[in-house]
Amino acid sequence: MILTESKSKEIFQKACEVLPGGVSRNTVFRDPFPDYVESASGCYITDIDGTRRIDFANNMASLIHGHSHPAIVEAVIDQMKKGTAYTMATEIEAKYADYLCNRVKSFDRIRFMNSGTEAVMAMIKLSRAFTGKPKIAKAEGAYHGTYDFAEVSQTANPDNWGDINSPNSVPLVKGTPKSVLDEVIIFPYNEIERTLAILNRYSDQIACVIIDPVPHRVGLVKGNPEYIEAIYKWTRKHNALLVFDEVVTFRVGYGGAQEIYPVSPDLTALGKIIGGGFPVGALAGSADIMELMNPRFGKPAFPHSGTFSANPITMTAGYTAMKLFDEEAVANLNSLTATAMNQIQESIKLADVPVSITGAGSMFRIHLKANPPKTYREAFQSKEVQKVLKNLLDYLYYKENILLVNTCTCMFSTAITQKEVDILSEAFLRAFKELKQQIIEIQ
C-alpha cells in the first residue's frame, strides 16, 4: 500500500524543487512519488520507510550478483584506500582487458568508458572512421542509449512509424535536427527480406548495422540466427560493419548473446554487468578496426579519452564480478530463470489470462497479449495497455513487495534463489486473478 505520510514523500517534495520531476533518471519515477532506498543486500531492497522488497530489476540489469556482494565490496574498499582515479594508467585496467578479450572470441582489443550510451556512441563513430561512410542502420524500437543517432525511432508509434517496408526515422527528443534523422536507416527487426531491401537502398552509405541480439524494447525476442547471418553477409558484401549492442545482453551467455550465433560482430558495445555495480561502458572488437583508436603513432583516426574511463574502482568491481560470473554461474542462473518462466507460464494458465512471456538467458518480459510478439510493432503498447500494465506493476510493488523493470521485465541476479522464484510466480498468479477483467478488456 502507498503510505500517505512517509519519509520518501517528504524527500520527493523537496527534490521536486531542485530536480526536474524530482528525479535524475525517469526510470525511477513512480506516481505519486518514488520510494527512497535505505539499504540493499543480495536480492532485497529496504526503503527508508522500512518496506523490504525482492529486487528483480537489479538496477536495470546491471547488478548480476545483486546488491553488496561481499567479494566486490571487499575488493572495492581495498582499492579505495589506494585512490579512486588518477591521470595515470592502472594495472587492473590491463588485467581486466586481458580477461574479457580471452573470454569472448570476437574481442581482439577493448577500450573502457563510462556508460553503455558512451560505448554505443564510440561504436558508431569508430564505424564511420573505419568505413568512411556516414549512415547507420538500426532496428525500429531498439534502445541504444541517449546518443542522438542511436535513439532515432526508439519510441516510434502507429501515428508516425510509416510503412513497414520503409519505416520512418522518428525523433525521440523535440528539436532533433533533421540532419540526424537523415543519417539513420530504420529496419524491422527479424524480418530478413524487408531488412535487406531497405539496406540495399543505402548500400554505399551505411557504415554499420547495429543489432541488439535480444532487444528489450522490441519485445525481448532473440534475433533469429538466419536473420543475423543474412545481415552479416550483407555487411561483408557492402563494406559495412556488423556491430552488436550487448550492453544488456552480455549476461545471456558466458561469451555474451553473440555466442549463440554462427557469425561474430566486428564491434561490440558493453556496459551494465561488466561494471560490477559501478558506471561502465566498453567497446571491443577486431584489432584492425580498434587500431583506429591507437595513439602510439601520432593522432589516431578516432581520438578517444574520458576522465573516469577505466577508473580503478570500476575496473576492480567489474573484474571481480565477471570472474564470479563464470560458466557454471551463467548456466545456473539461466536455468533458474527458465524455471521462473515455466512457473509464471503455469500462473498464466491457472489464472486463465491472455498473457505471454518472452526472454533469453537470465531475463524475461511479460506481455499482456495471448501470443508473444515477434516484432516491435506487435510489442507496441497502446495507452490502454500501458495503463493496465502500470496497474499490474503497482500491484506487485505495493501488494507483493516485488520490484520489476517498468516494462514488466525481470533481470535476474545470482542472489536470487528458488525461494524468490516461488514468491514471484505466486505473486503473479494473484496479480493476474486480480486484474483479469482489465487484461481481457484490452485485447
Active site residues: 143, 245, 272
Cell (9 digits) for 396: 506487485
Closest residue by Cα to residue 30 from 393, 428, 388? 393
Closest residue by Cα to residue 350 from 439, 263, 426? 426
The number of beta carbons lying within 10 Å of the beta carbon of residue 2 is 14
Q: What is the CA radius of gyration of the chain?
A: 22
Cα–Cα distances in angstroms (integers) from residue 212 to residues 145, 236, 248, 258, 344, in the given order: 12, 19, 9, 10, 25
261: phi > 0 → left, psi -120 to 50 → alpha, else beta; which? beta
Cell (9 digits) for 411: 533481470
Rounded Cα distance, 277 and 280, in Å: 9
Q: Using an 8 Å Cβ cutoff, are 67 and 415 in contact? A: yes
Residue recorded with cell 502507429 = 158
Closest residue by Cα to residue 300 from 124, 129, 120, 131? 129
Rounded Cα distance, 66 and 414, in Å: 7
Pairing of strands 37-41, 109-113: unpaired
Rounded Cα distance, 213 and 244, in Å: 7
Please provide the distance, in angstroms rounded to a whole number, between the alpha carbons at the two ends of the chain. 28
Cell (9 digits) for 254: 558466458
Closest residue by Cα to residue 339 from 359, 353, 320? 359
Cell (9 digits) for 20: 526536474
